[in-house]
């Protein structure tokens, strides 16, 4: 079992969470790319004011829920959503499927290999 957080630590996390939800500029999002709390990073990635550049950075997050939030965010660029696809079927998970659902809603057609038709060099990230 992990160490219990002090009231001060909980208050600091609550304050960071509120700032993640209220961030409006790319500069205000900067501290959240490396926040140790994945829920705070997730909240920042779901912020409706997140720009395409901010979302592209969150697309690199190690936590799958943050990447799913990026795939579903309306401000995410097509290029970023495509980067969330996994070329290798064994690597595909909830992030790949969220990105695929988004792209299919936008009219992208997928081939039998699970990647967009006409994608010469699929992402292997």
* pLDDT score at 123: 47
Residue 125 has pLDDT above 50, yes or no: no
**Structure token pair of residue 65:** 């829920």
Closest CA to 71 of 90, 39, 89, 93: 93
Q: Is 81 strand, coil or helix?
A: helix
Answer whether 55's CB lies under 8 Å from 82's CB: no
Give percent above pLDDT 70 in the chain. Answer: 94
Backbone angles phi, psi at 116, to 5 degrees: -60, 140
Backbone angles phi, psi at 80, to 5 degrees: -70, -45
pTM recorded for the entire structure: 0.88
């Amino acid at each position: 079992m992990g160490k219990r957080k002090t009231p001060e630590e909980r208050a600091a996390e609550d304050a960071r969470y509120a700032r993640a939800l209220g961030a409006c500029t790319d500069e205000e999002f900067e501290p959240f790319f490396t926040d140790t709390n994945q829920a705070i990073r997730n909240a920042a990635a779901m912020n409706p004011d997140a720009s395409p550049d901010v979302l592209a950075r969150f697309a690199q997050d190690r936590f799958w829920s943050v990447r799913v939030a990026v795939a579903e965010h309306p401000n995410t660029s097509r290029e970023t959503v495509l980067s969330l696809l996994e070329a290798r079927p064994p690597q595909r998970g909830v992030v790949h499927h969220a990105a695929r659902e988004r792209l299919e809603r936008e009219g992208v057609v997928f081939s039998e290999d699970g990647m967009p038709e006409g994608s010469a060099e699929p992402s292997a990230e």
